[in-house]
Amino acid sequence: MDDDTSPRLMSGNEAMARGALEAGVGFCTSYPGTPSTGIAEYIMSRAESIGIHAEWSVNEKVALEAAAGASWAGIPSLCSMKSLGLNVASDSLLSMNLSESGDGGFVIIVGDDPRGHSTSTEQDSRFYAKAALLPLLEPSGYQEAKDSVAYAFDISRKYKVPVIIRSTTRLSHSRGLVNLCPIDIHDFPRPLKMKENLFNVPDPHLARRDLRIKIRKISEAFDKSTFNRLRVKKEAELLTIASGICQKYAEEAMEEIGVENTGTLGLVTTHPLPKKVVAKAIKRAQNILFLEETDPFVEDAIRSFSTELISVSCKFHGKQNDLVPAHGEINTDLAIQGAQKALGLKFSRLDEKEEKIRESARKLLIRRPLTFCAGCTHRNVYWAVRKVKQRLGGKLFVAGDIGCYSLGVFYDEAISTLFSMGSGIGIASGLGQLHSFGLDSRIAAVAGDSTFLHACIPALINAKHKNANVTLMILDNSTTAMTGFQKHPGEEDQPEGQRMVSIEKIVQAIDPDFYAVGDAADLSSTIALIHSTVRKDGLNVLLFKSICRLEEQRMGESYTEQGRVYIDSDACHGESCKICAAQFGCVAIGWHDETARPIIYDHVCVRCGACVIVCPHDAIKQG
């Protein structure tokens, strides 16, 4: 199977997934989240033919627990997630770490998103490795991403600990050449034998002591690892110590700065530190520049470790002395700047004239915020929210949540909060209890279908139990759209071997004071339903049947049978109105300056007809 092992372009995600398959993984769990989604997707696409298990779990905590269980039964297990997913899973991680992992090995891959390209915050997840006293790997390239997974399983099996691999967006989402090995059809030892003593009580402190001893031994193993590469002559003027994708930036920066006597230490095993390797590097450099994504994790560890060494004369530079930023993504330019500052060299990429040219060019730029797809029913719901807010004199507060509908923050601030999975209804359950404090605003929250199942249920129970006055709007488009249409339990159509769990029935079991199903594709009824519901006291839940147009198109839907949408120029009030183009903001509606009339981009339009309702002059027609 998969006999073609010729080198090919693979993303960091695909490479890590491939590495897991080649290493014999048998049980894989994940919850989708950018930038980590592609790992489990690759494994799932091959799972059936190899005879292994791969699932989208309901959330990351369950994913981690399920994979840990399989590991204790002796099956090599993998759990992948994004940075914020590890927060969800951390409750279990920070206690399971004290019980040994199973004989098959247990590897956790976390995808961090420096700069927060697709994340509501910026987080360095490596501190979990430190907090949980677990080994951590940070591959720097595509081949290494693949190879590091097999190494992680080796370490896990040998030392009986879960091993964490940290990737970042740039590695996960870029592609480079990878050499492949064959994947064997897996055969797991039968009968499965469960590990014993899977608890830390009554002496968790002693389990922690033992893990600390183990982590020291792993540090010694890391000293022998060929993943860490020290390239330095004697007495380098400048040595970079870089981890993850920053190794590539460090290499290129050292080529660029035109200083002869430089060196690089590329660290893949960043927790625990390979102390001998680090000590050797430190002793050979006058200046050390740390390059790593997000926090000064390696930097702090090495600065601290250096105090144990006698006669260290080198100077340390990095995020702690502001030579490299501790926010946003690192790149080659920042590496060059850091290196030049460390050596006291002047840095300027452009002369004054070039700088001025760019400055005046920059003045022309306008922003391009993200927006909903053409015909997205989330836009309809938020248009309705806008209308209802107007009717209530602005006294409607909508707490937002994580998913495509997060874009509501850019849509006339239709939602007012945006934090973590499930936080919308949680915040609303608190605000909904403030009416006795004099709060005069109605309180609502939105959540998508996958998000509802992931994290909203306890908060909804809390709202009911505490008698909060809250309306939860569930925007159910029957897919995990934001991350690329992964299946979740709430969908009617389930793959073989999986069963539907009805969101409606869960909601009804919680027994809200008012419950209704709405049709988000029907704009008029959506406005009316939200308006009448949010004014009711008690717990209200609206389940909006919604449509993801991307999913619909992916499934082969074409819109040619519906009539074309067009503008009746005579009825249109032009610039004096412009509600369709300027306020409703569907990407299929443009504006033609010369005629001062909207235009419908037919190649983008999905002919949903929502804009027909939006136009107050009946100038948008369909047929």
Partner 1 sequence: MKEDYNILIAGVGGQGNLVCGRVLSEAARLKDLHPVIGETFGASRRGGTVLTHLRISNHERGPLIPKGRANLLLGMEPLEALRASIEYAGKQTVAVVSTARVETPESLSDAAEYPPTDKIIEAISSICGEVIAIDPVEALEKSGGLRLLNSYLLGAISVLKGVPISKDDIRESIRRTLQNPDLNLATFDLGVTDALKLSR
The Cα 305–Cα 312 span in angstroms is 11
205 near 24, Cβ under 8 Å? Answer: no
Output the six-digit token pair for 207.
Answer: 């389990």
Q: Of 499 and 603, which has the nearer Cβ to partner 1?
A: 603
Report in angstroms how near the CB of residue 328 gets to partner 1 at its nearest. Answer: 12
Q: Of 461 and 599, which has the nearer Cβ to partner 1?
A: 599
When binding is defined by CB under 8 A, the residue of 1, 91, 117, 224 that contacts partner 1 is: 117
Q: Which of 78, 77, 79 is nearest to 103 (CA)?
A: 77
- 3-class DSSP assignment, residue 472: strand
When binding is defined by CB under 8 A, the residue of 197, 308, 365, 560 that contacts partner 1 is: 365
Report in angstroms how near the CB of residue 281 gets to partner 1 at its nearest. Answer: 21
Please compute Rg for the chain using Cα positions: 28
Q: Of 261 and 331, which has the nearer Cβ to partner 1?
A: 331
377 near 523, Cβ under 8 Å? Answer: no
When binding is defined by CB under 8 A, the residue of 226, 360, 560, 576 that contacts partner 1 is: 360
Q: Which of 251, 248, 236 is nearest to 281 (CA)?
A: 236
383 near 401, Cβ under 8 Å? Answer: no
When binding is defined by CB under 8 A, the residue of 404, 418, 600, 608 that contacts partner 1 is: 404
Report in angstroms how near the CB of residue 178 gets to partner 1 at its nearest. Answer: 10
Report in angstroms how near the CB of residue 416 gets to partner 1 at its nearest. Answer: 19
Does position 170 interact with partner 1 (CB under 8 A)? The reply is yes
The one segment of 123-131, 354-362, 393-401, 490-498 that binds partner 1 by CB under 8 A: 354-362
Report in angstroms how near the CB of residue 553 gets to partner 1 at its nearest. Answer: 11
Site for partner 1 in 547-606 (CB under 8 A): 550, 578, 581-583, 585, 587, 589-591, 603
When binding is defined by CB under 8 A, the residue of 1, 5, 9, 516 that contacts partner 1 is: 9
Site for partner 1 in 326-345 (CB under 8 A): 331-333, 336
Does position 175 interact with partner 1 (CB under 8 A)? The reply is yes
Q: In the stretch 496-535, what mask flags binding to partner 1 with x, by CB under 8 A? A: ----------------------------------------
| Contact residues for 26 (Cβ-Cβ < 8 A; gap 6+) | 52, 53, 70, 75, 76, 77, 104, 186, 188
The Cα 504–Cα 494 span in angstroms is 16
Does position 367 interact with partner 1 (CB under 8 A)? The reply is yes
The residue type of 367 is R
The residue type of 319 is K
Output the six-digit token pair for 30.
Answer: 């994940």
Report in angstroms how near the CB of residue 87 gets to partner 1 at its nearest. Answer: 19
When binding is defined by CB under 8 A, the residue of 245, 428, 520, 610 that contacts partner 1 is: 245
When binding is defined by CB under 8 A, the residue of 68, 171, 385, 402 that contacts partner 1 is: 171
Report in angstroms how near the CB of residue 415 gets to partner 1 at its nearest. Answer: 16
The Cα 507–Cα 512 span in angstroms is 7
Length of the chain: 623
The Cα 108–Cα 129 span in angstroms is 10
Q: How many residues bind partner 1 (CB under 8 A)?
A: 57
Q: Which of 507, 543, 490 is nearest to 58 (CA)?
A: 490
Inter-CA distances, 279 with 249, 321, 440, Å:
23, 21, 63
Does position 366 interact with partner 1 (CB under 8 A)? The reply is yes
CB-neighbour burial class of residue 37 (10 A; exposed 0-12, middle 13-18, buried 19+): buried
The Cα 603–Cα 605 span in angstroms is 6
167 near 110, Cβ under 8 Å? Answer: yes
When binding is defined by CB under 8 A, the residue of 49, 121, 158, 177 that contacts partner 1 is: 177
Does position 488 interact with partner 1 (CB under 8 A)? The reply is no
Report in angstroms how near the CB of residue 369 gets to partner 1 at its nearest. Answer: 6
Q: Of 266 and 489, which has the nearer Cβ to partner 1?
A: 266
Inter-CA distances, 580 with 344, 397, 494, Å:
57, 25, 38
When binding is defined by CB under 8 A, the residue of 56, 128, 227, 372 that contacts partner 1 is: 372
The residue behind tokens 């569907």 is 586
Does position 622 interact with partner 1 (CB under 8 A)? The reply is no
Q: In the stretch 269-298, what mask flags binding to partner 1 with x, by CB under 8 A? A: ------------------------------
Output the six-digit token pair for 363.
Answer: 């003045």
Q: Of 104 and 400, which has the nearer Cβ to partner 1?
A: 400
The Cα 494–Cα 49 span in angstroms is 19
Question: Contact residues for partner 1 (CB under 8 A)?
Answer: 9, 34-35, 117-118, 141-143, 170-171, 173-177, 245, 248-249, 251-252, 256, 331-333, 336, 349-350, 354, 357-358, 360-362, 364-373, 404, 407, 410, 550, 578, 581-583, 585, 587, 589-591, 603
